[in-house]
Amino acid sequence: MEQRVTRKAFDEYMVPVYAPADFIPVRGEGSWLWDQSGKDYVDFAGGIAVNALGHRHPEVLSALTEQAQKVWHLGNGYTNEPVLKLAKQLVDATFADKAFFCNSGAEANEAALKLARLVGHSKNADHKNEIIAFKNAFHGRTLFTVSAGGQPKYSQDFAPLPPAITHLPFNDLSAVANHISSRTCAVIVEPVQGEGGVVPADPEFLHGLRALCDQHDAVLIFDEVQTGVGRTGELYAYQAYDVVPDILTTAKALGGGFPIGAMLTVDSLAAHFQPGTHGTTYGGNPLATAVAGKVFELINTPEVLGGVALRHLWFTERLNLINHQYHVFSEIRGMGLLLGAVMHERYNGQAKQLNQLAAEEGLIGLIAGPNVLRFAPSLIIPQADVEEGLNRLERAIARLCS
Ligand SMILES: *Cc1c(COP(=O)(O)O)cnc(C)c1O
């Protein structure tokens, strides 16, 4: 008989860059997961803002299996139908004229930052290469993106890092105004800092960045890897803020669970990339883009996008009620279905502990730093599942506070 795989195998065989929960989910359906023992969980994590249509959505499953019967991969010597359809969907729905496909958020940001440097060099061969980024930002784990990220603990051990990246305080427009110059080639920002604690940008901050980039001929990059594809209730957060970037990166929810990323930009910038300047083997692979095309089609509707605002209320109203009783949070914040509950100072640093208690009660959540409990559930989660998940959270909170 085949031996049963257990959580112990992780410690035995896996490079220890993660510390996964001690149970192993084996099946998902909608906003529910089941582990090896058959225990059920309400899923408010969505694979970290990825499973935007929940698990095993029937139409997405059909798109996957239909494409799997045709052709999986061709390489970039040939284009394919699903990638061309997806590119048109993205261009039709956004400010962008062109799309570049890759496999992850980090790769989308890597492409964006490389393009910004390339554009800067075309204007001033030596000097227009500085990138302004923000403290507590997260842009991925490649060396360039981890350097652009604003948490030194993720980058410092990999020095020497790519130079000419400056980190300024998030939401501090005067800091940017004081620093930006003709040397600046790009400003990269998350409209809502996700990993950094679910911190929405102030509207004036993003509008101000747009104006400063225009003044100094720098490109404005919105990292919408976490906020994109409906998460905030708009297709992309830039639309909610009414600030149009020059480059936008999208991944996570774009594939609904199938790995894919994209960088979107306008013709005048896209033209700086020529055959050979950038690429990736799997980028725009027909299997990934067939799935993403279906996910995008299903999410980019008034019903799904409008439903996000309603679900935001289901969450925040109940979370505030729970908090009224237990005073465990100091603030409930976020946009749409990217929600952060900040631990009250009495429970400082205990977000992870609360998340573990929640898992014991059958709720899968996320944290964003030591102090913020984060939820990024399916955009179509039914009200009954929200209620059930929050019942379970309330039991976990009662235990934390006892
Ligand atoms: C998750 C995330 C990334 C990195 O995406 P990967 O697919 O893990 O490479 C980049 N930026 C933001 C804002 C993210 O949330």
> pTM for the whole thing?
0.98
Secondary structure of residue 106 in the 3-state scheme: helix
pLDDT of residue 3: 72
Strand-by-strand arrangement of the 130-134 sheet: 98-102, 261-265, 247-250, 219-223, 184-189, 130-134, 165-168
The answer on whether 316 is annotated among ligand-binding residues is no
Do residues 259 and 288 make contact, with C-beta atoms less than 8 angstroms apart? yes
| Spans of the chain below 50 pLDDT | none
pLDDT of residue 286: 98
pLDDT tens, 278-302? 999 999 999 999 999 999 999 999 9
Do residues 202 and 192 make contact, with C-beta atoms less than 8 angstroms apart? no
Do residues 204 and 171 make contact, with C-beta atoms less than 8 angstroms apart? no
Do residues 209 and 173 make contact, with C-beta atoms less than 8 angstroms apart? yes
Return the beta strands (E) in 210-343 as ranges: 219-223, 247-250, 261-265, 329-335, 338-343
Secondary structure of residue 209 in the 3-state scheme: helix
200 ligand 1 Cβ < 6 A: no
* CA 385 and chain centroid, separation: 23
Q: Which of 195, 231, 250 most suits a substitution to test ligand 1, by most atoms within 8 Å of the C-beta?
A: 195
Do residues 41 and 358 make contact, with C-beta atoms less than 8 angstroms apart? no
139 ligand 1 Cβ < 6 A: yes
The answer on whether 83 is annotated among ligand-binding residues is no
CATH code reported for the domain at 70-299: 3.40.640.10
120 ligand 1 Cβ < 6 A: no
333 ligand 1 Cβ < 6 A: no
Does this chain's domain 8-57+302-401 share its CATH topology with 70-299? no
β-bridge partners, 261: 102
* Ligand 1 atom with minimal separation from the 226 CA: 15
The answer on whether 138 is annotated among ligand-binding residues is yes
Where along the chain do its domains lie?
8-57+302-401, 70-299
The answer on whether 158 is annotated among ligand-binding residues is no
195 ligand 1 Cβ < 6 A: yes
- Residue for token pair 């999208």: 250
Nearest by Cα to 206 from 244, 154, 177: 244
Strands 184-189 and 219-223: parallel
Q: Distance between the two ends of the chain, CA-based, in angstroms?
A: 45
Interior/surface letters 317-332, b for 16+ CB within 10 angstroms, e for the rest: ebbeebbeeeebbbeb
| Ligand 1: centre distance to CA 141 (Å) | 8
- Residue for token pair 């299903």: 298
196 ligand 1 Cβ < 6 A: no
| Ligand 1: centre distance to CA 225 (Å) | 5
pLDDT tens, 89-144? 999 999 999 999 999 999 999 999 999 999 999 997 669 999 999 999 999 999 99
- Residue for token pair 């708009």: 234
- Residue for token pair 């300047």: 277
The answer on whether 226 is annotated among ligand-binding residues is yes
* Ligand 1 atom with minimal separation from the 109 CA: 10
* Ligand 1 atom with minimal separation from the 259 CA: 7
- Residue for token pair 């790519």: 162
The class (CATH top level) of 8-57+302-401 is alpha beta
The answer on whether 141 is annotated among ligand-binding residues is yes
**H helices within 138-172, ranges in order?**
143-148, 152-155
Secondary structure of residue 391 in the 3-state scheme: helix
